[in-house]
């Protein structure tokens, strides 16, 4: 999910650095096999014959004892995915897909005992995020294979959100969908999800940004990709994917946010795309940014620019970030436009606000119960039984208790693309939590 902020233009940055991927863990998720090991078999049959003149030989045989070598069947994911990931991984331990050593002055962290101890202390938090990441990977890869032209945006969102709920074993505020599925088309860069009754469908010439989240105990994985059906958009997608990977590689402890933005812009704007005989430079959407992530807080205060700017704030140990970039064939700047669908309770809202409307009071209690400070949409309110929510929602927005997030739109007829990963700056290494073999 996107952070919005105005940023300025940039110069050159460092090139890409090599990423160290743990090969065994970078492969497809391994399903645990619980099996009975082959038991050792007593194979020494002693056929001793004792005999002599006038004596009768006596045979003594040891019988082999064979045990049935039964294996428990592997638990496999279904199509569509419905099996909780907790049933696919032994002891609920989830894999590290990509981790990267820090560089330069922070290289010492890799082997430092104190830092390694801190990592062990925080293992449960990391494992929760790896679990959410595994759900994201499996759901999105199913979506990539099965979203087709002609599907309604509601069908697409239901596919993704129902898969997420099943695989994470949705349980109130303990686990579930991290925020509404963004499925913004073409010049709409972010913050569109269908409201109830929306009839919009995806077409063969559309460029669709799929941005969805998964949370465990309020810890959120935020990751996005762009889906197209026409290869003419490939260069646009390549530019944005390359820019996002640049941001991921440049991020680290003590790195200045402005330096990351400069590196991203230099890579993104080195690309061009030809559409219908006309060549367009790929521009960074300069007022969209990545962001830090906190417990129950999708935007935790720091923004990661995608263009050069003057923000010398540094990334710090232990922080989680959504590194996301947006490229456009349009003006490279977005405005709020269209019907609002995304909402979020203000993180600093008072616990007992003075609300005049009973409808707002009742709706706020439901929001607190089902979403807390996580983003939600009008479809989600319908789903939890708040089908008559418009008046109460307006009252909460007017009181500043809930913030609206309308669609963010570039110039008409522009095409926009997005890629995004969640990273954590662990004490010893940087981990790219949402990495997969798709992006």
Q: Among the options 99, 134, 161, 222, which is catalytic?
A: 222
> Assign residue 186 a region: left if phi > 0, alpha if psi is -120 to 50, beta otherwise?
left
Catalytic-residue membership of 222: yes
Does 14 carry a binding-site annotation? no
Question: Concatenated DSSP letters for 385-432?
Answer: T--S-HHHHHHHHHTTSEEEE--EE-STT--EEEEEEEEEE-SSEEEE
Taken as a whole, the chain contains a residue count of 439
Rg (the chain; Cα; Å): 27
Nearest alpha carbon to residue 253 among 313, 295, 323, 298? 313
Q: Among the options 187, 319, 420, 431, which is catalytic?
A: 420
Catalytic-residue membership of 291: yes
Q: Retrieve residue 195's tokens.
A: 């409201």
Does 299 carry a binding-site annotation? yes
Q: What single-letter DSSP state applies at residue 64? A: P
Does 337 carry a binding-site annotation? no
Separation in Å, CA 164 to CA 76, 215, 217, 358, 365: 16, 10, 15, 33, 25
Catalytic-residue membership of 104: no
- Name every residue whose Cβ is closer than 8 Å to that of residue 231 and which is 6 or more positions away in sequence: none
Q: Among the options 324, 386, 410, 431, which is catalytic?
A: 324
Separation in Å, CA 338 to CA 170, 197, 275: 31, 15, 26
Does 136 carry a binding-site annotation? no
Does 421 carry a binding-site annotation? no
Question: Concatenated DSSP letters for 85-137?
Answer: GGGTSGGG------EEE--GGGGGGGT-HHHHHHHHHTHHHHHHHHHHHHHHH
Catalytic-residue membership of 370: no
Query: H/E element holding 336?
Result: strand 335-336
Phi/psi of residue 226, each to 5°? -115, 135
Query: Are 378 and 192 contacting, i.e. CB atoms less than 8 angstroms apart?
Result: no
Q: Retrieve residue 198's tokens.
A: 């929306």
Q: Among the options 161, 250, 262, 299, which is catalytic?
A: 299
Nearest alpha carbon to residue 273 among 351, 327, 218, 344? 327
Does 420 carry a binding-site annotation? yes
Catalytic-residue membership of 211: yes
Q: Among the options 136, 215, 291, 421, which is catalytic?
A: 291
Q: Among the options 134, 211, 242, 431, which is catalytic?
A: 211
The three-class DSSP label of residue 245 is helix
The three-class DSSP label of residue 242 is helix
Does 206 carry a binding-site annotation? no
Phi/psi of residue 227, each to 5°? -115, 130
**Which residues make up each annotated binding site for a divalent metal cation?**
211, 222, 291, 324, 420
User: Could you tell me which residues are annotated as the binding site for substrate?
Assistant: 191, 299
Could you list the active site residues? Answer: 211, 222, 291, 299, 324, 420
Specify binding-site residues: 191, 211, 222, 291, 299, 324, 420
């Amino acid at each position: 999910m996107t952070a919005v902020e105005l940023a300025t233009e940039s110069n050159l940055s460092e090139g890409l650095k090599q990423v160290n991927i743990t090969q065994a863990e970078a492969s497809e998720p391994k399903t645990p096999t619980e099996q009975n090991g082959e038991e050792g078999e007593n194979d020494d049959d002693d056929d001793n014959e004792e005999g002599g003149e006038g004596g009768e030989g006596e045979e003594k045989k040891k019988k082999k004892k064979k045990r049935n070598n039964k294996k428990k069947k592997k638990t496999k994911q279904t199509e569509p995915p419905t099996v909780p990931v907790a049933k696919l991984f032994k002891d609920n331990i989830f894999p590290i897909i990509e981790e990267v050593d820090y560089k330069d002055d922070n290289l010492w962290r890799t082997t430092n005992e104190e830092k390694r101890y801190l990592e062990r202390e925080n293992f449960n938090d990391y494992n929760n995020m790896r679990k959410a990441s595994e759900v994201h990977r499996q759901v999105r890869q199913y979506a990539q294979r099965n979203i087709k032209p002609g599907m309604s945006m509601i069908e697409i969102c239901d596919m993704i959100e129902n898969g997420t709920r099943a695989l994470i074993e949705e349980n109130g505020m303990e686990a579930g969908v991290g925020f509404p599925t963004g499925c913004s088309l073409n010049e709409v860069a972010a913050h569109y999800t269908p409201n109830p009754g929306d009839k919009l469908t995806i077409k063969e010439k559309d460029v669709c940004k799929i941005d969805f989240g998964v949370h465990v105990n309020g810890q959120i994985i935020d990751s996005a990709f762009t889906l197209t059906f026409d290869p003419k958009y490939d260069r646009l997608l390549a530019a944005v994917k390359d820019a996002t990977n640049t941001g991921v590689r440049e991020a680290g402890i003590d790195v200045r946010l402005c330096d990351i933005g400069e590196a991203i812009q230099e890579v993104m704007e080195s690309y061009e795309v030809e559409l219908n005989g006309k060549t367009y430079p790929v521009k960074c959407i300069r007022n969209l940014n990545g962001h830090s992530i906190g417990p129950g807080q999708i935007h935790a205060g720091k923004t990661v620019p995608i263009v050069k700017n003057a923000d010398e704030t540094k990334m710090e140990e232990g922080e989680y970030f959504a590194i996301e970039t947006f490229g456009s064939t349009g003006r490279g700047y977005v405005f709020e436009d269209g019907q609002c669908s995304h909402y979020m309770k203000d993180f600093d809202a008072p616990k007992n606000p003075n609300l005049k409307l009973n409808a707002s009071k009742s709706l706020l209690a439901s929001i607190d119960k089902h979403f807390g400070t996580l983003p939600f949409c009008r479809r989600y309110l319908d789903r939890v039984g708040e089908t008559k929510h418009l008046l109460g929602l307006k009252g909460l927005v007017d009181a500043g208790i809930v913030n609206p997030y309308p669609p963010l739109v570039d110039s008409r007829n522009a095409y926009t693309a997005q890629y995004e990963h969640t990273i954590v700056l662990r004490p010893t290494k940087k981990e790219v939590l949402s990495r997969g073999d798709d992006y």
